[in-house]
A and B are shown apart, each in its own frame.
Chain A
Amino acid sequence: MSGKPKLHYFNGRGRMESIRWLLAAAGVEVCLYGSLLFQQVPMVEIDGMKMVQSRAIGNYIAMKYNLYGKDLKERALIDMYVEAVIDLNELLMTHILQPADKREQHFATIVDKATNRYFPVYEKVLKDHGQDFLVGNQFSRADVQLLETLLMAEECKPDILAKFPLLQSFKARISNIPTIKKFLQPGSQRKPPLQEKDLPKVMKIFH
Chain B
Amino acid sequence: MAGKPKLHYTKGRGKMESIRWLLAAAGVEFEEEFIETKEDLEKLRNDGVLMFQQVPMVEIDGMKMVQTRAILSYIAAKYNLYGKDLKERAWIDMYVEGTTDLMGMIMYLPFQPADTKEKNLALIIERATTRYFPVYEKALKDHGHDYLVGNKLSWADIHLLEAILMAEECKPDILSAFPLLQAFKGRTSNIPTIKKFLQPGSQRKPPTDEKFVAVVRKIFNI
Contacts and interface: CB of A to CB of B under 8 A. Distances in A.
Nearest to B68: A83
Interface of B: 51-53, 61, 63, 65-70, 73-74, 77-78, 86-87, 89-90, 93-94, 96-98, 131
A76 B70 contact: yes
Interface of A: 39, 47, 49, 51-53, 55-56, 59-60, 63-64, 72-73, 75-76, 79-80, 82-84, 87, 117-118, 121
A79 B70 contact: yes
A59 B87 CA distance: 11
Given A55-B97, A60-B90, A84-B52, 11 more contacts: A49-B90, A53-B93, A56-B94, A64-B86, A72-B77, A73-B63, A80-B67, A83-B68, A87-B52, A117-B53, A118-B52
A169 to B, nearest CB: 22
Give the interface SS of chain B, mostly helix, strand, loop or mixed.
helix
Contacts of A60: 86, 89-90, 93
A56 B74 contact: no
B114 to A, nearest CB: 22
9 contacts: A47-B87, A49-B90, A53-B93, A56-B97, A59-B93, A60-B90, A60-B93, A64-B86, A121-B52
Contacts of A47: 87
Given A73-B61, A121-B52, A80 B70 contact: yes
Contacts of B63: 73, 76
Nearest to B74: A76
A161 to B, nearest CB: 18
B51 A63 contact: no
A72 B74 contact: yes
A79 B52 contact: no
Contacts of B86: 60, 63-64
For the complex of A and B, the 8 pairs showing the least CB-CB separation, nearest first, are A79-B70, A56-B93, A83-B67, A53-B97, A56-B94, A80-B70, A76-B74, A60-B90
A5 to B, nearest CB: 13
A39 B53 CA distance: 35
B69 A79 contact: yes
Nearest to B78: A72
